[in-house]
Chains A and B, each alone.
Chain A
Amino acid sequence: MSSDIITTDQLSKFYGSILGIHEVSIKVPPGGVGFLGPNGAGKTTLIRTLLGIIRPTKGTAHVLGYNIKSEINQVRDRIGYIPEFNTSFIPDMTAMKFVAFCGRMNGLANAESKQRASDSLYYVGLGEERYRKLGTFSLGMKQKVKLASALVHDPDIIIADEPTNGLDPTGRNQMLDLIKNLQIDQNKHVILSSHLLRDVEQTTDYAIVFSEGEILAQGKIKELTSGQRTSISVKVKFNEDLFIRNLKDKGYEVWDEGGFIEVKISSDTEKAIFNAAYTAGTEIRYFGSRSNTLEDVFVDLFQNKEGIK
């Protein structure tokens, strides 16, 4: 049996003639997974389809082995969802009542929903404020209430859709910290959907890249970022300008980035760098390949896609 927590097969959703997602086939492994892509790429559409909020036009999907068409209620009980929208909730209801109410909607008995609401609010750091009305909460606190309401029914998977939207740096770090810790402390599978590369890189180790309703790439972040060495980073002492000119004369693409001289890899680049240094009388103090960030991968993928178009 597959260990993947979510599998989709040719899943498509059209809103009339407007494309939401197109023949998306993915396998989401356990642990932390990032759904990455610009706004309108189809991340939220996929999430809403998996939760049964919208019906797919075509294709099938399974969450923890449950079919989203025929067993959607089992799916819902096993997913905790943090919606993207900046909800105001029910302004004059206390956080405690709201989270307990969410628990009851997932089938928890009254007493247990209250217990777990209290635990969830403590977990997200709102224990002291749990009897305050939601209307008096800051945006960061509201996001935490959303997380608490997603945790209250003890789901196996937490899906957080743009959970750091609108948060200040402190609130953002706290939220990412909580999401990261859910994987470690509570053994939850976390899907973080974001257009912010840093958020995904910080909290997950697997990424699925979306663009215009399709999957551009998927894989472990380490593999995605180490797969392609695009340039060699060099740090030199003495005659730096001459060293650069020598390389450029030989037809190499050279640029400065963060105090390093970057040389785009082509044929015999390493050999050319040492020759240029020897000719210019330059000492090489650092020589290494620049490791790609997720941002580099992301930019490359989109540039390639534009190129194909």
Chain B
Amino acid sequence: MSDQSTKNDAYVRKFSFRPFTGLRRGRIFRMWSISWQWWIHEWDRSRAIKVLIGFQIFILFLTNIFVLTFKDIQLQADPTLTTGQILEDTLIPLVRGIVSFQTRIRGESAGHGDEFGTSFSIGGTSLFILLLAVLVGSGLIADDITNKTNEIYYSKLEKYEYIMGKFGAFFIFGNVMITLPYVLEFFLLYIGLGNMDFLAVLPVLVHVILFTELVNITYAAIILAFSSLTGRRLYAGLTTFMLLFLANMIVPSLAFAQGGEVGLQLLTDVLTLLLVSSYLLDGESIIRLDLLGREHTLNLANGIGIEGWMIIGSLGLFIFLGISIVILQVYRRHSA
């Protein structure tokens, strides 16, 4: 063992250090180093990430074949339908399905119909994405507490840089695992379906990017908050997963128990807040709710009422709470 060999130490010391250039990179580079290092490390380490991304690409490939095969039939059946609409009707439910297990489990789409049978395709991946996000992300801060590496981070960086670096780390994960496949899917469908003006379908792409980024931010805030609360990756992961999973299950279960129909999505469903907010992003204003058998209609863009702001507020509150917990933990508990 090297720590038993002083002879070897004396030998290597003769070489000493190559001269240091004295050039130091800026603060953003340092934060980025944390993010990138974590992502590369997890990529090298985790077989599940590679399997899932392979699964995602396979599913997207299947979806494309399905959509392209039935494209002509759909266009003949409905002469008013355009390829742009097919693209939108395919992609938007897919993207919204990321955050909702119930939609996928029940085989419902998020409001654009299920004519093309796309909901089956990505259904399983929403659960996998959450599982993997929790599995990988819950160690982001918890592992540093367990391994006591946070002291090394804090001796080199500001604490906010550490937090940003960790958020960035999850953000890379989210972008590679969530955003990128759907953006790729957009372009595959755009090329495959053909006959459409890019500018006309650009809002769909914007929707895909904004919605998936919202998912990334919310996941990051919730997962990092739990990760900062404990030194055990397992506890952090389990708690986060249970919270998110139960949040998706409670209201539909209640509705089912009382014989009510679960209509679209429910505001009390934590991640459904994201789904609802997506209506704001693409300008679709009406949301029908069938909560415990009582139907409600929300018009988010008619300038009347505060429903839209409530949803943005709820969503913001979750992100704010998550980030606040992380900041408090890092600045208070971890620095005592």
A residues in contact (CB < 8 Å) with B: 15, 51-54, 72-73, 76-77, 79, 81, 83, 85-93, 97, 101-102, 104-109, 112, 115-116, 119-120, 122-129, 138, 140-141, 144, 149, 151, 153-154, 170-171, 173-174, 177-178, 181, 185-186
Contact = CB atoms under 8 A, between A and B. Distances in A.
B156 A106 contact: yes
B68 to A, nearest CB: 43
B33 A101 contact: yes
A102 B152 contact: yes
A186 B16 CA distance: 8
Given A109-B23, A154-B17, A81 B2 contact: no
A128 B2 contact: yes
A87 B16 contact: no
Given A83-B148, A116-B18, 10 more contacts: A53-B154, A76-B156, A83-B151, A90-B143, A101-B37, A104-B33, A115-B18, A116-B17, A154-B17, A177-B6
CB-based closest 5 A-B pairs: A107-B24, A140-B3, A125-B9, A154-B20, A104-B33
Given A93-B41, A101-B37, A120-B17, A127 B12 contact: yes
26 contacts: A51-B155, A54-B336, A88-B147, A88-B148, A89-B149, A93-B41, A101-B37, A102-B152, A102-B156, A105-B34, A105-B156, A106-B24, A106-B156, A107-B24, A107-B30, A109-B23, A109-B25, A119-B15, A119-B18, A123-B12, A123-B13, A125-B6, A141-B1, A153-B20, A174-B9, A186-B17
Given A54-B335, A88-B146, A106-B24, A171 B17 contact: no
Contact of A170 (B3, B37, B45, B154): B3
A107 B30 CA distance: 6
Interface of B: 1-6, 8-9, 12-13, 15-18, 20-27, 29-30, 33-34, 37, 41, 45, 143, 146-149, 151-158, 335-336
B336 A108 contact: no
* Chain A CB within 10 Å, residue with most, of B2, B5, B154: B2
B24 A108 contact: yes
A138 B3 contact: yes
A131 to B, nearest CB: 13
Nearest to A76: B156
B23 A119 contact: no
A16 B41 CA distance: 39
Nearest to B10: A125
B277 to A, nearest CB: 35
Contacts of A54: 335-336
Contacts of B20: 112, 116, 153-154
A154 B17 CA distance: 9
Contact of B41 (A90, A115, A129): A90
Contacts of A79: 155
Given A87-B148, A116-B18, A123-B13, A105 B157 contact: yes
A144 B152 contact: no
A85 B148 contact: yes
